[in-house]
Amino acid sequence: MAIARTGSNLSQIAALLGVSSATVSNALSGKGRVSAELTEKIRATAADLGYTPSLTGRALRTGRTGVLGLVLPDIANPLFPQIAQAIEYAASNAGYGVLIADSRGSVALQTDAINRLIERDVDGIIIVPRLGTRIADIDCPVAVIDSPSTPGNTVSADHWQGGQAVVEHLVSLGHRKFLLIGNNPASNVQNDRIGGMKSCVPEDGHADVLWIERHEQSHGKGSLLGLQKKVEAGFTAFVAISDLHALRALTELQRAGVAVPEDVSVTGFDDLVWSSVITPGLTTVRMNTAEIADVAIAALVRVIEADAGSAIPAGPVVAAKRSSVPMQLVVRQTSGPPPKAQIA
Amino acid sequence: MAIARTGSNLSQIAALLGVSSATVSNALSGKGRVSAELTEKIRATAADLGYTPSLTGRALRTGRTGVLGLVLPDIANPLFPQIAQAIEYAASNAGYGVLIADSRGSVALQTDAINRLIERDVDGIIIVPRLGTRIADIDCPVAVIDSPSTPGNTVSADHWQGGQAVVEHLVSLGHRKFLLIGNNPASNVQNDRIGGMKSCVPEDGHADVLWIERHEQSHGKGSLLGLQKKVEAGFTAFVAISDLHALRALTELQRAGVAVPEDVSVTGFDDLVWSSVITPGLTTVRMNTAEIADVAIAALVRVIEADAGSAIPAGPVVAAKRSSVPMQLVVRQTSGPPPKAQIA
DNA sequence: CAGGGTTGATTAATCGATTAATCAACCCTG
DNA sequence: CAGGGTTGATTAATCGATTAATCAACCCTG
């Protein structure tokens, strides 16, 4: 014997009013033909009973569960909560629930995570892919949030433009010698940011790139980045592709007695939670997660709800109307003019 | 016409072998009586067809969806991803999916979030409650992860013991004058941590508490905490209830020219991602999120799967076998002996 | 060898909602 | 007033899996 749900169901309403459950379904969904009078009565009793439709029953019949899957990369990325929140909010507004699946930093587990979601019959999947992963063939609509230069990207922040914005800001303050700090050159996101930064270095300026993962391979994990020597070599702007690395740079410089922003400027990316409370407050670039989530969900929902007609979607990865959303520069206290001596 | 699922179903296997779908169901689930020979044949064809049971069909029949809801407080808490990851992992191992719902920092939205989950027929809910929220009556089993001193708490880290561990460490280094840094005294978690810290201050020592939210009400959001004056007043240990506040303290002190750990020690809580990469590395206390998640999920699953017998559970909030899980001290570079002059 | 017990299967109902097909009643119109 | 059209409802099938009830075949045992 199946276990009865706590709430009421269509047949209960139908029995109470002496009509068929089909009529109740039609009345509540506005489909079919039901007299205005009866519709009103059905609405009223449904409200009285606190009726909520069984999404399971509906899912079985319609083949749509109303649930989206969200696949996230390595949890270490502190931007994750913001993205997850934005996706959940946008999905919820569109009438969808969000199942999470964690790829725990490994490509194999990412595939497992996707398969778990598909087994649960999600209507679509949003993937924030792990570094350089290609999305394998997936049997449902997929939205990819990575970077505009990634093939198959659905929507993402305009990381290149974000990189431009922060370097333009520093150039206008008078900086000419930049140390760009990245982590892993295999990341499309990081490459876009670095690329945008480089594109704005003026002809009389200079930019070096420090890749942290490479540096740590030779110097050991968590080792100093040797920034003090860079300061001595005349670098005045330390431009990181993440607040995490900016923070690392900032504390290393402070510890070495280099004053920020008086001696050098430090900037980050992503506006993570701590950026506003540290001293000095971190100048950074913020992505519009709400907008990105809205676009991704809208694109996904459009394909899902059109799917009734065309059985086979063209490709699994959906396209959005806008594929990139501008980033916004947030100026706080870690960026300022370089010391007088440095200005040529 | 309902939309057919992409995969195969029980009746397809049944038709292929010329048996009834009931037999296929029995064979695959190991229930009922099916000959060993036939069971083997059914298993083989199921594997051939790549059969995965429709969880929707099963859910409708059994009344259990195999999905848990996870309600998270304000996303600003950077510990969230670790908890979410641990919960998802534990749930997945127990055969459950995890739907997320964000309470976005408001009690009203927390209730909305819970209702959305219930509408989706989750089998149980895990709540990491917002500051001082009481869990309203909920129509399904609930596990609460807050603090051992919270009434109705299911399981959590032993925040009191964590507070003890960090102050014991500092006392053994020679510290006697402590500034304990909290945010909001209405939080059970924060109160437990502060309480544990205080309980380990020796008789010849002293501890003051700085509540940041109160401080900001009079001094403005993001204002300096006035720690330099505290250093001048002889405080040598700054013990925060979160790495976020420890980071704030650390940068403020470094900026003011106070050397950490030579002049003063700074410690945090939660071992957030950046704690290991900043310079100097932050001494902190880590919670065993995996263990907490395992206990919470186990308690929830126990009630859910016993529910078949007893229709009405005693109360919605489930109890666990262990209600508190010890925290672990992680010693890095921000803690050291106080300057010689300060040792009496 | 009659009749109780076991084995290994099938039948049919069920969970809840949706929807194509059908039907009764009524309204018109030529 | 016969017959086509519309209105407002119902009937019945369906999505996929589960499971209580039933049944046929066979095996024993007294």
Please tell me if the domain spanning A67-156+289-325 has the same topology as the one spanning A159-287+329-342.
Answer: yes
| Nearest to A198, CA basis, from A225, A172, A168 | A168
- Give the ipTM of the model, two decimals please: 0.89
Check: CB of residue A13 under 8 Å from CB of residue A42. yes
pLDDT at position B109 is 86
> Tokens standing for B231?
């250093």
pLDDT tens for chain B, residues 1 to 344: 444 456 789 999 999 999 999 999 999 999 989 999 999 999 999 999 999 999 999 999 999 999 999 998 776 677 888 888 899 999 999 999 999 998 877 888 888 899 999 999 999 999 988 766 666 677 789 999 999 998 889 999 999 999 999 999 999 999 999 999 999 999 999 999 999 999 999 999 999 999 999 999 999 988 999 999 999 999 999 999 999 999 999 999 999 999 999 999 999 999 998 899 899 999 999 999 999 999 999 999 999 988 655 544 445 788 887 899 999 999 999 999 999 864 44
- Crossing angle of helices B55-62/A55-62, nearest 10°? 140
Check: CB of residue A179 under 8 Å from CB of residue A238. yes
Section A139-159 average pLDDT = 92
pLDDT at position A344 is 47
Q: Is A114 helix (H, G, I), strand (E, B) or coil?
A: helix
Check: CB of residue A119 under 8 Å from CB of residue A138. no
Check: CB of residue B221 under 8 Å from CB of residue B191. no
What is the CATH topology of the domain spanning B67-157+289-324? Rossmann fold (3.40.50)
Q: Which of A5, A254, A308 sits opposite B251 (nearest CB)?
A: A254
pLDDT at position A173 is 97
Section A205-234 average pLDDT = 96
Band of pLDDT at residue A307, cut at 50, 70 and 90: low
Nearest CA in chain B to A120: B55
Sequence letter at residue B264: V
The C1' atom of C15 and the CA atom of B58 lie apart, in whole Å, by: 9
pLDDT at A5 over 70: no
Q: Is A313 helix (H, G, I), strand (E, B) or coil?
A: coil
The CATH architecture that domain A67-156+289-325 belongs to is 3-Layer(aba) Sandwich (3.40)
Q: How far apart are CA B276 and CA B281, in angstroms?
A: 5
Q: Indicate the DSSP class of residue B334.
A: S
Q: Shortest CA–C1' contact from B7: which nucleotide?
A: D16
Q: Which of B62, B250, B276 sits opposite A222 (nearest CB)?
A: B276
pLDDT at A107 over 70: yes
What is the CATH topology of the domain spanning A159-287+329-342? Rossmann fold (3.40.50)
pLDDT at A128 over 50: yes
B103 vs A contacts (CB less than 8 Å):
none
Section A224-245 average pLDDT = 97
Return the residue matching tokens 């319609």: A62
Q: Which of A60, A100, A120 sits opposite B88 (nearest CB)?
A: A100
Q: Answer for B2: CB within 7 Å of strand D.
A: yes
Q: How far apart are CA B200 and CA B166, in angstroms?
A: 9
pLDDT at position A3 is 47
User: Would you list the domain boundaries of chain B?
Assistant: 10-53, 67-157+289-324, 159-287+329-342
A 117-136 residues inside an 8 A Cβ radius of B? 119-121
Q: How far apart are CA B117 and CA B140, in angstroms?
A: 10
| Nearest to A103, CA basis, from A140, A143, A71 | A71
Q: How far is CA B159 from the centre of its chain?
A: 12
Q: Is B77 helix (H, G, I), strand (E, B) or coil?
A: coil
Q: Give me chain A's average pLDDT, please.
A: 91
Rounded to 5 degrees, φ, ψ at A254 are -60, -45
Q: How far apart are CA A72 and CA A69, in angstroms?
A: 10
Instruction: Pinpoint the alpha helices (H) of A144-270.
Output: 159-173, 188-199, 212-219, 227-232, 243-255
DSSP per-residue string spanning A95-138: T-EEEEEE-TT-HHHHHHHHHHHHHTT-SEEEE---TTPPPPP-
pLDDT at position B12 is 95
Q: Shortest CA–C1' contact from A56: which nucleotide?
A: C16
Band of pLDDT at residue A23, cut at 50, 70 and 90: very high
CB contact under 8 A, B65 and A54: no
Check: CB of residue B154 under 8 Å from CB of residue B318. yes
DSSP per-residue string spanning A26-47: HHHHT-S---HHHHHHHHHHHH
pLDDT at position A134 is 66
Furthest-apart CA atoms within chain A: distance in Å: 90
CATH annotation of A10-53: 1.10.260
A 9-48 residues inside an 8 A Cβ radius of B? none
Q: Indicate the DSSP class of residue A261.
A: T
pLDDT at position A329 is 98
- Crossing angle of helices A36-49/A10-17, nearest 10°? 120
Rounded to 5 degrees, φ, ψ at A37 are -60, -50
Q: Answer for A33: CB within 7 Å of strand C.
A: no
